[in-house]
Structure 1
Amino acid sequence: MTTFGPQIEVAIARTRADVARLHGELTRYGLVVWTGGNVSGRVPGADLFVIKPS
């Protein structure tokens, strides 16, 4: 498993929280049904993405 420095770990955690929150907005606004739909976010300061698959 890859390890990252503390700043990147914090950025990953924040991006994960944002992606989870935004996924909840999809159903709230009727953009998807149930848990369908993908949401992703780029981790600032790193060449990484957080992806929430459907």
Structure 2
Amino acid sequence: MSKKQTPDKGAKQSPSREDRLKSALKANLARRKAQVRAKADGLSTPKPTGTKDEG
């Protein structure tokens, strides 16, 4: 009778690859959220146009 060989090598690589992809996606999402927050903070605060009073 022949024995079924389980792809142990492939099984070990798949979860680690998925874990790497998951962590990369999570880091990318966190970076993008931080960029959006920084951009929103920059838009909400008025930039000083100068020190002279016009009028």
* TM-score, normalization by structure 1: 0.46
Q: Which has the higher contact order (CA 8 A, sep 6+)?
A: 1
Q: Whose radius of gyration is greater, 1 or 2?
A: 2
Normalized per residue, which structure has more strand?
Answer: 1
Normalized per residue, which structure has more helix?
Answer: 2
